[in-house]
């Protein structure tokens, strides 16, 4: 077994992060205030074109704040992509609201506009109005936000764009995270850039972000004493972590290119294998390839996703299944789920694998992953 583990996606520093972190220590601005926070927010605004941004301790906190600002409450219906990490929907439960899950389409792996409209028509006939929709941009690719935005406009439902995995993705000339009432980014350790842990909420509505900032700092009123008139949270990003973010933003475009190069190498090395299919890049989009993902036809290849994952792990290589859909999770047992025709998100989970996409991988390590995949996929009978 190799001594050095090849990771799925680990933090990759650019070189200037420590300078900004040191500035936080030198000026004693260690708390969730300071120049690093302000500059980091400005960098994200400039990069995405959003009018306003608020740096937070997590992307999950951003979704929570967005639901709070949309006044989601007990029993309210919130539509959400099913094929996603649980953090997309957990904040719905924080509000005692009712999550309703929407299937994916095969072209983008993201929310299916037809399934979404099916859900909205159903609730309109029931005389119920969903309070919000959480659209997830999976693995670095935008959903079909033009179609989804038009559908939501017709039904009067505001969009929260969960762009946790898609900072830098573009759809029809607009940056991921800028289509909805709110956009949410994550800077967790495995994301395309990181602040160790952290997130950000953006919007073109500056007043909404001012309200988000207030709620993220315990909803303090303007007063010499501590005055509170509404519920608040402790969600602001520290000036230390924001220093890491400043340095990471300086290398974001390079990291995106590296991720895309890794994906291209996988395609080149595996495209002749019958029975695999890589995640598409939908027309009019720019996919960051945060994670390189593909589908395995188990009938053609005689091997399951889990068997390939186990084989790679035996060689000290980290890979993972595609997200298990939330409508299949025990936490959400009994929730309502809308699909168009087939259960695409279930199919993607059962046949999808996330390959190592670490930007610190060497050429030799990428070739090793490719060769091991070829060995296991093409000679499966040797492992029977």
Q: Transcribe 36-96 into DSSP letters.
A: HHHHHHHHHHHHH--SEEEEES-HHHHHHHHHHHTT--TT-EEEEESSS-GGGTHHHHHTT
Last residue within a domain, chosen from 223, 249, 275: 249
In a domain, 214, yes or no: yes
Domain hosting residue 290, numbered range: 252-383
- Per the domain annotation, does 6 fall within a domain? no
What is the full per-residue pLDDT of the chain (384 aa) written as tens digits? 446 999 999 999 999 999 999 999 999 999 899 999 999 999 999 999 999 999 999 999 999 999 999 999 999 999 999 999 999 999 999 999 999 999 999 999 999 999 999 999 999 999 999 999 999 999 999 999 999 999 999 999 999 999 999 999 999 999 999 999 999 999 999 999 999 999 999 999 999 999 999 999 999 999 999 999 999 999 999 999 999 999 999 999 999 999 999 999 999 999 999 999 999 999 999 999 999 999 999 999 999 999 999 999 999 999 999 999 999 999 999 999 999 889 999 999 999 999 999 999 999 999 999 999 999 999 865 555
Cα separation, 261 vs 69, whole angstroms:
39
Two structure tokens written together for 18: 């420590």
Q: What CATH number corresponds to the domain at position 294?
A: 3.90.1150.10
Per-residue model confidence (pLDDT) at position 340:
86
Q: Which of 88, 86, 43 is nearest to 237 (CA)?
A: 43
Residue 12 lies in a domain: no
185 and 157, same structural domain?
A: yes
Query: Are the C-beta atoms of 185 and 177 separated by less than 8 Å?
Result: yes
User: What does the angle CA 95 – CA 100 – CA 103 come to, to the nearest 5 degrees?
Assistant: 140
Per-residue pLDDT, 379: 81
Which two three-digit tokens encode residue 281? 């890049």
- Cα dihedral 70, 76, 81, 83 sign: positive
Would residue 82 count as lying in a domain? yes
Same domain assignment for residues 202 and 216: yes
Domains: count for the chain: 2
Judge whether 8 lies within some domain: no
Question: Does residue 189 share a domain with residue 87?
Answer: yes
- Helix or strand run (H / E) with residue 308: helix 305-314
Provide the pLDDT for residue 383: 58
260 and 241 share one domain = no
The pLDDT value given to residue 27: 96
Domain shared by 340 and 258, yes or no: yes
What's the rounded Cα separation, in Å, for the pair 203 and 66? 10
| Residue 305: predicted pLDDT | 97
215 in a domain, yes or no? yes
264 in the same domain as 157: no
| Domain final residue pick, 204, 224, 249 | 249
Tell me, yes or no, whether 312 and 183 share the same domain: no
- State whether 59 and 204 are in the same domain: yes
Distance (Å, whole) CA 343 – CA 118:
14
d(CA 86, CA 356): 21
**Do 66 and 173 fall within a single domain?**
yes
Domain-located, residue 11: no
Residues 81 and 96 in one domain: yes
30 and 146 co-located in one domain:
yes
Residue 380: its pLDDT value, please?
Answer: 63
Please tell me whether residues 242 and 366 are part of one structural domain.
no
Pick the last residue of a domain from 249, 264, 292.
Answer: 249
Q: Is residue 9 part of a domain?
A: no
Residues in the chain, total:
384
CATH of the domain at 58: 3.40.640.10
């Amino acid at each position: 077994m190799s001594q050095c583990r090849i990771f799925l996606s680990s933090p990759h520093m650019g070189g200037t992060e420590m300078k900004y972190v040191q500035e936080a220590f030198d000026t004693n601005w260690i708390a969730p205030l300071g120049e690093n926070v302000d500059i980091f927010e400005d960098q994200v605004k400039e990069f995405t074109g959003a009018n306003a941004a608020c740096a937070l301790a997590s992307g999950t906190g951003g979704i929570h704040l967005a639901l709070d600002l949309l006044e989601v409450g007990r029993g309210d219906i919130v539509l959400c992509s099913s094929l996603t990490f649980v953090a997309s929907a957990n904040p719905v439960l924080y509000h005692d609201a009712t999550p309703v899950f929407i299937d994916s389409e095969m072209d983008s792996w993201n929310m299916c506009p037809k399934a979404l409209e099916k859900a909205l028509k159903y609730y309109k006939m029931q005389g119920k109005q969903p309070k919000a929709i959480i659209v997830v941009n999976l693995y670095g690719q935008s959903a079909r936000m033009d179609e989804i935005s038009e559908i939501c406009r017709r039904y009067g439902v505001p969009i929260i764009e969960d762009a946790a995995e898609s900072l830098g993705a573009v759809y029809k000339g607009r940056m991921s995270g800028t289509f909805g009432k709110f956009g949410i980014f994550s800077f967790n350790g495995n994301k395309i850039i990181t602040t160790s842990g952290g997130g950000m909420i953006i919007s073109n509505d500056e007043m909404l972000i001012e309200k988000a900032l207030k709620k993220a700092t315990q909803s303090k009123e303007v007063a010499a004493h501590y005055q509170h008139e509404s519920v608040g949270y402790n969600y602001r990003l520290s000036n230390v972590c924001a220093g890491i973010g400043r340095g990471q933003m300086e290398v974001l475009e390079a990291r995106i290119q590296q991720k895309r190069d890794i994906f291209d190498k996988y395609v080149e090395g595996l495209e002749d294998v019958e029975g695999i299919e890589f995640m598409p890049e939908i027309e009019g989009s720019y996919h960051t390839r945060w994670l390189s993902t593909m589908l395995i036809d188990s009938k053609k290849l005689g091997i399951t996703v889990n068997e390939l994952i186990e084989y790679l792990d035996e060689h000290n290589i980290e890979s993972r299944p595609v997200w298990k859909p939330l409508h299949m999770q025990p936490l959400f047992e009994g929730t309502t789920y809308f699909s168009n025709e087939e259960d695409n998100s279930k199919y993607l989970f059962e046949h999808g694998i996330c390959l190592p996409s670490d930007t610190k991988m060497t050429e030799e390590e990428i070739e090793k992953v490719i060769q091991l995949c070829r060995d296991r996929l093409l000679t499966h009978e040797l492992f029977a």
